[in-house]
């Protein structure tokens, strides 16, 4: 059987299994990775190259740097401080979305949501507001905030890795050109209109991990909390000025992680615990599929099909809509990281076939892939608030679908201006 056909079969298998999640998505990605070796589509070195990719190293480093903020309680303090000034439910929704969105831009968006969920549950208990009115905005803000910077979400780095192979790259804050307006408009939307779509459920899962009590970090020395924040800020500054100082992002991240353990802010064991191995294996495994799509020509076959449906003379805007909506729809029925990993090589092939700017096509793919608002399975934060919020599937659709429409309108207005497909 032709290698391109085998690759397409593995792609179809991955999509179906990611959507159904009958087995863990990480296991699916590894089945694909190993399967490509067994069918001789890729050699072992090609298949496992993704696990030594510089972005995987960056993932590991930033998990540790962000994890230190969570382990010391500094992230909890930051979240509690902002929420403390809100006096009404709508002010609280805005405060929660602002702090979650900003934290998600520079830390793991999943980690940011994880540390703020118990804080918000505790606030709901103290104020008497329904937690179902507060937790969903938190999850949605985490998704939007991931596009404020290059390190905000795994999908951003997946696109960066593919772009670097083509000799191009995104700047540290370039995702924010689209992500920040979406976050701002999303917050305004829920402040004035969207809050009406939020459920007011009284039921919660008794077995939920999150209790109404805030985590107690009083045993953590204050110097550890302060130093964790200083090292995070210095790490981010090093990444922002990457070109000026001549040190790659992943090296800067590693320096920050090393300092945290070296200075005793966190222990070696806590550093290991902070690393999300699911993301590492998912990223490494799906990069094997991305490699196969490129080397076998399967990605070009998909691109040719899309171009054929659009027509050779399709307008840049029609191509933009097709790429964006494909990512936005797919991301709500599978992991947003997996959706981006699958679509990035296909998008690159489409860009090559149509002579479009790869940066513009990948930006549309990543922004569309981050619109995982309308289902509980689109991103981890959505699933994490399911039990403590007592949500049903329909609650995500009611609250998230309007935000998808708002985000799509903003993106389709800004992308052609800031990232035109044809210069």
Counting beta carbons within 10 angstroms of the beta carbon of residue 77, is it exposed (0 to 12), middle (13 to 18) or buried (19 or more)?
A: middle
**Highest mean predicted confidence (pLDDT) among 105-119, 278-292, 406-420:** 406-420
Specify the pTM: 0.72
pLDDT value at position 123? 76
The two three-digit tokens of residue 97, written as one number: 């979305």
Alpha carbon separation from 261 to 68, 348, 393 (Å, rounded)? 9, 39, 41
**Rounded-to-integer distance, Cα 39 and Cα 114, Å:** 40
Give the residue, 312 or 38, on which the prediction is more confident: 38
Give the residue, 371 or 202, on which the prediction is more confident: 371
Q: Compute the Cα dihedral for 218, 221, 223, 225 and give only its sign.
A: negative
Lowest mean pLDDT among 154-158, 253-257, 338-342, 417-421: 338-342
pLDDT value at position 342? 81
Model confidence pLDDT, tens digit, residues 286-337: 778 878 887 888 877 876 787 778 776 778 888 889 889 888 988 887 668 8
The mean pLDDT value for 74-80 works out to 74
All residues at 6 or more sequence positions from 110 whose CB lies less than 8 Å from its CB, including other chains: 142, 276, 379, 380, 381, 384
pLDDT value at position 212? 46
- Residue 79: pLDDT band (50, 70, 90) is low
**Rounded-to-integer distance, Cα 381 and Cα 386, Å:** 9
pLDDT value at position 213? 47
CA 293 to the chain's CA centroid:
23
Residue 172 has pLDDT above 60, yes or no: yes
Residue 256 has pLDDT above 90, yes or no: yes
Could you count the other beta carbons within 10 Å of the beta carbon of residue 377? 21
The answer to whether residues 150 and 160 touch, using CB atoms and an 8 Å cutoff, is: yes
Mean pLDDT of the chain: 85
Residue 281 has pLDDT above 70, yes or no: yes
pLDDT value at position 371? 94
Residue 49 has pLDDT above 70, yes or no: yes
Give the residue, 91 or 120, on which the prediction is more confident: 91
Alpha carbon separation from 43 to 9, 48, 109 (Å, rounded)? 18, 9, 34
The answer to whether residues 408 and 371 touch, using CB atoms and an 8 Å cutoff, is: yes
**Highest mean predicted confidence (pLDDT) among 32-41, 119-128, 197-206, 231-240:** 32-41
Residue 409 has pLDDT above 90, yes or no: yes
Task: Name the percent of the chain lying above pLDDT 70.
Answer: 92
Crossing angle for the helix pair 222-240 and 74-84, to the nearest 10 degrees: 90
- Residue 85: pLDDT band (50, 70, 90) is confident
Residue 58 has pLDDT above 60, yes or no: yes
Burial 110-144 (b: 16+ CB within 10 A, else e): bbbbbbbbbbbbbbbeeeebbbbbbbbbbbbbbbb
Q: Is 264 left (phi over 0), alpha (psi -120 to 50) or beta?
A: left
The two three-digit tokens of residue 98, written as one number: 């602002």
**Rounded-to-integer distance, Cα 213 and Cα 206, Å:** 14
Residue 203 has pLDDT above 70, yes or no: no
Model confidence pLDDT, tens digit, residues 5-16: 999 999 889 878
The mean pLDDT value for 37-42 works out to 94
Residue 254 has pLDDT above 90, yes or no: yes
**Highest mean predicted confidence (pLDDT) among 211-220, 276-285, 286-295, 413-422:** 413-422
pLDDT value at position 202? 60
pLDDT value at position 211? 46
Alpha carbon separation from 142 to 114, 147, 187, 259, 381 (Å, rounded)? 10, 9, 12, 27, 7
Give the residue, 129 or 224, on which the prediction is more confident: 224
The two three-digit tokens of residue 66, written as one number: 């962000």
pLDDT value at position 373? 93
Rounded CA Rg of the chain: 21
**Rounded-to-integer distance, Cα 358 and Cα 339, Å:** 18
pLDDT value at position 177? 96
């Amino acid at each position: 059987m032709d290698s391109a056909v085998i690759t397409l079969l593995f792609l179809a298998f991955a999509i179906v299994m990611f959507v159904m999640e009958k087995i863990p998505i990480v296991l699916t990605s590894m089945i694909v990775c190993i399967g490509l070796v067994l069918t001789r589509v890729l050699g072992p070195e090609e298949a496992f190259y993704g696990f030594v990719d510089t972005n995987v190293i960056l993932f590991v480093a930033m998990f540790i740097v962000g994890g230190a903020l969570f382990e010391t309680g500094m992230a909890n303090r930051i979240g509690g401080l902002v929420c403390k000034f809100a006096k009404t439910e709508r002010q609280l929704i805005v405060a929660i979305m602002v702090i979650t969105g900003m934290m998600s831009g520079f830390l793991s968006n999943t980690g940011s949501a994880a540390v703020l969920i118990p804080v918000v549950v505790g606030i709901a208990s103290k104020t008497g507001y329904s937690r179902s009115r507060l937790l969903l905005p938190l999850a949605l803000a985490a998704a939007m905030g991931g596009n404020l910077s290059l390190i905000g979400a795994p999908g951003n780095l997946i696109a960066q890795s593919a772009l670097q192979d083509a000799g191009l790259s995104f700047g540290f804050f370039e995702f924010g050109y689209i992500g920040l307006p979406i976050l701002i408009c999303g917050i305004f939307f829920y402040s004035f209109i969207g809050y009406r779509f939020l459920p007011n459920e009284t039921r919660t899962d008794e077995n939920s991990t999150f209790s109404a009590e805030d985590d107690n970090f009083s045993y953590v020395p204050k110097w550890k909390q302060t130093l964790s924040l200083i090292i995070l800020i210095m790490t981010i500054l090093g990444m922002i000025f990457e070109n000026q100082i001549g040190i790659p992002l992943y090296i800067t991240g590693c320096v920050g992680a090393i300092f945290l353990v070296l200075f005793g802010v966190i222990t070696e064991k806590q550093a290991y615990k902070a690393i999300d191995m699911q993301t590492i294996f998912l990223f490494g495994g799906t990069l094997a599929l991305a490699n196969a799509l490129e080397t076998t020509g399967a990605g070009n076959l998909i691109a040719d099909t899309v171009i054929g449906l659009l027509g050779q003379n399709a307008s840049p805007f029609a191509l933009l809509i097709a790429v964006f909506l494909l990512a936005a729809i797919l991301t709500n029925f599978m992991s947003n990281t997996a959706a981006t990993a699958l679509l990035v090589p296909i998008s690159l092939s489409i860009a090559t076939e149509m002579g479009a700017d790869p940066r513009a096509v990948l930006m549309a793919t990543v922004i569309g892939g981050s619109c995982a608002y309308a289902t509980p399975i689109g991103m981890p934060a959505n699933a994490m608030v399911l039990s403590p919020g007592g949500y049903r599937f329909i609650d995500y659709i009611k609250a998230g679908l309007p935000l998808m429409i708002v985000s799509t309108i903003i993106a389709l207005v800004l992308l052609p201006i800031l990232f035109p497909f044809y210069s």
